């Protein structure tokens, strides 16, 4: 995708509220937001840098939209939609679990609770 297509896809995602597991957003390839689940509008993401990821929950697509839009100026978003990639999203989940030093049972429970609830 060229930059114009990236901006158009980003706008579509945020205006439609259609966030899918595996959606990956990036700000200058240094800050990432990865949608790991969307259960009837309850959106769970992993957000941060390669060094530190945080699990974040948005109760509505509008809440996620409001976090990512510019607060001032002509509109738009401070983060860009990059792709939908389930394999890459799974890597972020594994990295998050590794950084949190979770046991295998904790990882299993985290994945079930995060992805299914």
What pLDDT is recorded for position 50? 79
88-93: average pLDDT: 88
pTM for the whole thing? 0.87
Q: What is the dihedral of CA 81, 84, 87, 91, to 10 degrees?
A: 20
Place of tokens 């429970």: 109
Instruction: Tell me the pLDDT tens digit for each residue of 23-48.
Output: 999 998 889 999 999 988 899 999 99
Over 80: is that where the pLDDT of 117 sits? no
The backbone torsions φ and ψ at residue 51, rounded to the nearest 5 degrees and listed phi first, read: -90, -30
13-24: average pLDDT: 93
- Residue 82 Rama label (left phi>0; alpha psi -120 to 50; beta): alpha
């Amino acid at each position: 995708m060229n930059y114009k297509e990236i901006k158009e896809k980003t706008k579509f995602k945020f205006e439609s509220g259609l966030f899918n597991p595996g959606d990956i957003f990036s700000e200058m390839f240094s800050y990432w937001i990865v949608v790991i689940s969307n259960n009837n509008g309850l959106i769970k993401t992993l957000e941060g840098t390669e060094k530190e990821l945080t699990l974040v929950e948005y109760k509505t697509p509008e809440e996620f939209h409001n976090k990512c839009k510019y607060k001032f100026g002509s509109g738009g978003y401070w983060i860009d939609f990059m792709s939908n990639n389930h394999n890459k999203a799974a890597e972020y989940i594994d990295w998050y679990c590794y950084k949190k030093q979770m046991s295998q049972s904790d990882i299993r429970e985290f994945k079930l609770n995060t992805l299914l609830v």
